[in-house]
Chain A
Amino acid sequence: MSNNITPDILIQYLDNELPPDERLYVEAQVLADAGLQQQLERLRMARQAFEHYAIKEKVSNIHQQFMQERRQAPKPGTKVYWLRTTLRVAAIVLVLLVVAGVVQYSLLDNDRLYSSHYEQFTLGTARSDSDASALQQAYQRGNMPGVIGLYEQRSATQRADHFLAGQAYLATGNAVKAAAAFDAQLTANDTLSLKPYHDDAEYYLALAYLKAGLTDKALPIFEKINRQPSHTYNSEVSGWFLTQLRWLKAKQSR
């Protein structure tokens, strides 16, 4: 220090702790002494730097508290968010199901349901041609008009000829006559112990009714097949298929 101005006095000057006359004296000395000027400047910088430090410390402490509170506090709206999301998804699924149901319902008709399940019956070839009736031979050859011709000439002599005739009628689009033939097969089976093609006749009778537009007659037969796990065609008659049949029946009864 080049004079009697000590650092303590400079600090008092900066802190406004000096009386006015001493303050003026310090200012005069500082003006005249470059070394004092530099020291005063460094002290001022030190004070301001410290203020920056203090602010930063305070903000840092509040920051830590704020972040801790946020982490500890239950996130507001989380439950509401998930509830809303779940309800939104449920609503979308419901709307999609309703739309799908409406589309399904509007598209439902006998032909569509019949086509989804009909498959032409294939006669087994285990039996030799010599044992087969003329009607059976015609069926094996795929000659459906021939089968129908023979059947209508009352030449049905074999136990399964009603059934094959029914198949021929179905294949040629005559569902009513097909139903009558299948029904005849089932009636004939009542007197037989072996009951040839019984499950097949039931299933195709129901299909024939369906094709003929007689849903109310088809439905009980399909329901019976669905209730019997041992039935040959049980796996063909699903719950969804029955539902569609019921819808169709309701649609037709309006």
Chain B
Amino acid sequence: MKDNLFPSDQALLAALRSNRELDKAIRFLYQQHFDALSIYIRQNSGNEQDAEDVFQEVIVSFIELVKQNKFRGDSSIKTFLYSLNRHIWLNELKKRNRMQVRNTKYEQGREQVEADVSTFIAGREARQQVMQVIDQLGESCKQVLLAFYYQDLSVKEMLAFLPYENEQVVRNKKYKCLKKLEELLHQDPVLTNNLKSILSYEQ
């Protein structure tokens, strides 16, 4: 049975912006839209795994757009997710370079997605590179940065579950980890440029 935690699009958008309610909101999106969006993938040359992968990307992209206030609400969430799903999948098909017919579909599909969203999706590959760079930070760094920048925990709250002596040690660890990430970006000018184009869109 689908739950009804978020009776309106506005309630769901508020939850997506709030990190504390994000889990519930993501689950809700899965329950409401996974099956329907999967059908589109499976009916257009994709398999079950493709459908799962694309849906994950749809949700990640949607959350980021919402957090950056780039989802203007011109359409319903459902319609917007369908557009993202179609666009990401057609983009993937194009990447796989399977058939000319699909290129045509891609062009048609692209016209239907808001232009700025297209730009957002175009940066997906750069984001995937970022994921690989972040993996190089190590688990302890990722844990501290997640707590700071994602879970919105205070330093005092972090001390409850992080293996550090005091608040200053936690702060120093954060500085050290973020600097390390900055250095990794500095060492890869191509990735930095790609990211720059994404961030210029985001700002």
Contact = CB atoms under 8 A, between A and B. Distances in A.
Contacts of B131: 52-53, 56
A103 interface: no
B99 to A, nearest CB: 29
B145 A59 contact: no
Size category, A interface = 20 to 34
B196 A45 contact: yes
B123 to A, nearest CB: 10
Interface stretch (B69-77, B100-108, B110-118, B176-184): B176-184
Given A50-B145, A50-B149, A55 B195 contact: no
Size category, B interface = 35 or more
Interface string B63-99: 1100100000000000000000000000000000000
A152 interface: no
Nearest to A41: B196
B146 A39 contact: no
Main DSSP-derived SS at the A contact region = helix
Contacts of B134: 49-50, 53
A62 interface: yes
B196 A62 contact: no
A48 B120 CA distance: 14
A244 B175 CA distance: 95
Nearest to B147: A54
Nearest to A49: B130
B26 A53 contact: no
A8 B182 CA distance: 12
A218 B2 CA distance: 69
Nearest to A44: B199
A67 interface: yes
Nearest to B141: A50
Contact of A7 (B23, B26, B150, B175): B175
Nearest to B27: A62
B59 to A, nearest CB: 5
Interface of B: 22-23, 26-27, 30-31, 34, 52, 55-56, 59-60, 63-64, 67, 127, 130-131, 133-134, 142, 145-146, 148-150, 174-175, 178-179, 181-182, 185-186, 192, 195-196, 199, 202
Interface of A: 7-8, 11, 15, 39, 41-60, 62-63, 66-67
Query: Which 9 pairs, one residue from A and one from B, show the smallest C-beta to C-beta distance?
Result: A54-B150, A46-B181, A49-B130, A42-B182, A8-B175, A53-B134, A66-B30, A45-B195, A46-B182
30 contacts: A11-B174, A11-B175, A41-B196, A41-B199, A42-B185, A42-B186, A43-B179, A44-B199, A45-B192, A46-B181, A48-B199, A49-B127, A49-B181, A49-B195, A50-B149, A51-B67, A51-B149, A52-B127, A53-B130, A53-B134, A53-B142, A54-B145, A54-B146, A55-B67, A57-B146, A58-B26, A59-B26, A62-B23, A63-B59, A67-B52
